[in-house]
Structure 1
Amino acid sequence: MSWWMAGFDGVPLTRGGWTFFLPDYDARYSEELRERLIDSAFAAIDGTLATRVRRSRHAETWVEHFDQVGGPAAYFKVLDPIRGLNRVARIFKRRRAAHVASISEHLRADAVGVPEILLLGAERRGGREIIVTARVEGFSIARHLRRAKLASRRVVLRALGAEVARLHRAGYIHGDLSPFNVFVTALEPPQFVFIDHERTRRTVMSRFARPRMRNLVQLGHLELFDVTNTDRMRVWCGYAAAFSARRRRAERRRVAAMLRERIAKDRKGGVAGRVAASLGPRREAKGS
């Protein structure tokens, strides 16, 4: 068992300067699918996989389909090496891929929706890592709200607030709770899956208002997707119903102030237009 994955079931594989880890692959994967996952992982690492989804500041994400070998569509997220002073801090922490495996297990145990992990890997010398997850069925909140009818939007937004409150009450703070990192997987009742957990933490900080408010501000980018202030208040009302009413008004003012500042920065940088273009045309709905 590799030191960086200590504490998890499964068999590590070393190949081409990388250590890979397939959780319980003997029980779930055919030999052919296992080999295809590793081959595609190397293609993503080399930048030659067929379809690239996006490039962020710290990672590159690719997608591949494995229907012909009995597997799902999979997303390959290649994490850049850690730079600067963060490299010192990383000495005392587990690898990012190992953290995703650990936090995903905790979230799943608390009945929070997370993607299925298909493969994890770490470069032995260069510092890069890879996280491969099965595609989540459904649509991101951003895409769902872009196309949903008014009644569906109202129900989903209130349920989203309640689900984020449940996440916080269980002790978690999501590292990047953007509308692209929450998927709607069912509507009656609404169900959600949270993705991208490299920075998600289970922490005592979830007891304090400010870290929780930051997550709500991240969700507040819903304004970029033609969602009104009233719609954003539906998220807040769904969220606030799970907490004490004693400081509800003060927290609402704090969220509003933080959100205005964040949106102003986005508009100044042209983020709204770029995101709207990436989502495509909105489907007009009666009452929207």
Structure 2
Amino acid sequence: MAVPRGSQIADPLTTALQQGWKLTLAGTLAPELHRPVIRLALDTAAGTAGKRVRRSLHADTLLVELANQELFVKIIRPRRGLKRIRRWIRGAAAQHVVTIAAALQRDGFQAPAPMLWGSELRGGREIIVTARARGILMPRFLREAGHDLGRKRALLRALGAEIARLHLRGYLHGDLTPFNILCSRDDSDRFILLDHERTCRTWLSRFTRPRLRNLVQLGHFSLSGLTRTDRMRVWCAYAAVYHGTGRRRSEVYRLRRMIDQRRAKDLRKTAVPADPMVARGDAEKLPWRPRKSL
């Protein structure tokens, strides 16, 4: 059950209606695995299988094992209000992931291809099953790189160049955080991009602000082993590929300002005032005290 790549993503051959779910299996999945994968997906959706490894506002991701292969099962919760209308107009998120993963692979990027996807007919939930890709999450790589500065710097430059190529192809990643980027185990200079519910190919990628907002998602996290100079290496490598020369320096400085603004905004969201003076808006007079974790 290797991760499908490139032209391996074919039109689905099997659709199943089981336990209130409409499920589709990729044509690359071996026939003898159809029933086990469907059963495992349904058990995970019912809460009787899988270990949760990530939780967000809109989805839960669980890790399961089948035939000595680790799989990720993502359960997307139903949308409410305007978001529900938006999803109805745009179509199912699971189907979008299948389409955008195929497009990314055709354009030379690495993105895990779902082996099963579908939706709950009444509840409105969606499900996506993918094989675990051969890679190391970016935060873990930075921790493990340790004192191997040459290796770390080369990879950060490669990351900036990869994101530039992504934008040059017209893509904007929906959630470009370090936790959605794997350093490939098979190719040290390549990356596997995850979490494509909101990734799109759009003419907006030609404009500066949407592209920089993508880089703000990548750069506003504080990670162990990542310095301010390291961030600049990513940005400069990005600008070198996207612009060559010319606007390179001005765009890097603009990006740095946007990231500083985003980090200040994050701080305001996750802090409580030290006293009523701060609550009234005189934040410069007293420092903010971080809110204790729940």
TM-score normalised per structure 2: 0.83
The aligned counterpart of 1:109 is 106
The CA RMSD measured in Å over matched residues stands at 1.9
Pair 1:134 & 2:131 matched: yes
The aligned runs of 1:117-156 (5 Å cut-off) are 117-148=114-145, 149-156=148-155
Contact persistence 2:173–2:198 (CA under 8 A): yes
Cα distance change of structure 1 residues 168 and 183 upon mapping to structure 2, 3 Å threshold: same
Pairing partner for 1:89 from 62, 65, 86: 86
User: By how many angstroms is 1:117 displaced?
Assistant: 1.3
- The 3-state SS of whatever aligns with 2:115 is strand
- The 3-state SS of whatever aligns with 1:117 is coil
- The 3-state SS of whatever aligns with 2:242 is coil
Pair 1:20 & 2:20 matched: no
Contact persistence 2:165–2:242 (CA under 8 A): no
User: By how many angstroms is 1:123 displaced?
Assistant: 0.8
The list of structure 1 runs, each at least 4 consecutive aligned residues, that deviate by more than 4 angstroms after superposition, is none
CA distance in 2, matches of 1:187, 1:64: 23
The aligned counterpart of 2:251 is 251
User: By how many angstroms is 1:140 displaced?
Assistant: 1.0
Deviates more, 1:162-171 or 1:261-270: 261-270
Task: Name the aligned partner's letter for residue 191 of structure 2.
Answer: F
| Larger Rg belongs to | 2
The aligned counterpart of 1:160 is 159
Cα distance change of structure 1 residues 222 and 150 upon mapping to structure 2, 3 Å threshold: farther
Task: Name the aligned partner's letter for residue 177 of structure 1.
Answer: L
Deviates more, 1:173-182 or 1:42-51: 42-51
The aligned counterpart of 2:77 is 80
Deviates more, 1:194-203 or 1:7-16: 7-16
CA distance in 2, matches of 1:129, 1:122: 4
The aligned runs of 1:1-288 (5 Å cut-off) are 8-25=11-28, 28-31=29-32, 33-68=33-68, 72-148=69-145, 149-186=148-185, 189-244=188-243, 245-268=245-268, 269=270
5+ residue gaps, structure 2: 1-9, 272-292
Deviations 1:58-94 (A, max 9, x none): 00110111135xxx21100000001111222223222
CA distance in 2, matches of 1:216, 1:36: 40
User: By how many angstroms is 1:232 displaced?
Assistant: 0.3
Contact persistence 1:223–1:229 (CA under 8 A): no
- The 3-state SS of whatever aligns with 1:114 is coil
Percent identity reads: 45
User: By how many angstroms is 1:264 displaced?
Assistant: 2.8
5+ residue gaps, structure 1: 1-6, 271-276, 278-288
Deviations 1:128-181 (A, max 9, x none): 100111101121111111111212110100000000001000110000000010
Task: Name the aligned partner's letter for residue 204 of structure 1.
Answer: W
TM-score normalised per structure 1: 0.84
Contact persistence 2:98–2:113 (CA under 8 A): no
- The 3-state SS of whatever aligns with 1:241 is helix
Contact persistence 1:222–1:232 (CA under 8 A): no
Cα distance change of structure 1 residues 224 and 137 upon mapping to structure 2, 3 Å threshold: same
Deviations 1:93-146 (A, max 9, x none): 221111001001100000100013111010112211001111011211111111
- The 3-state SS of whatever aligns with 2:179 is helix
Task: Name the aligned partner's letter for residue 105 of structure 1.
Answer: A
CA distance in 2, matches of 1:189, 1:205: 30
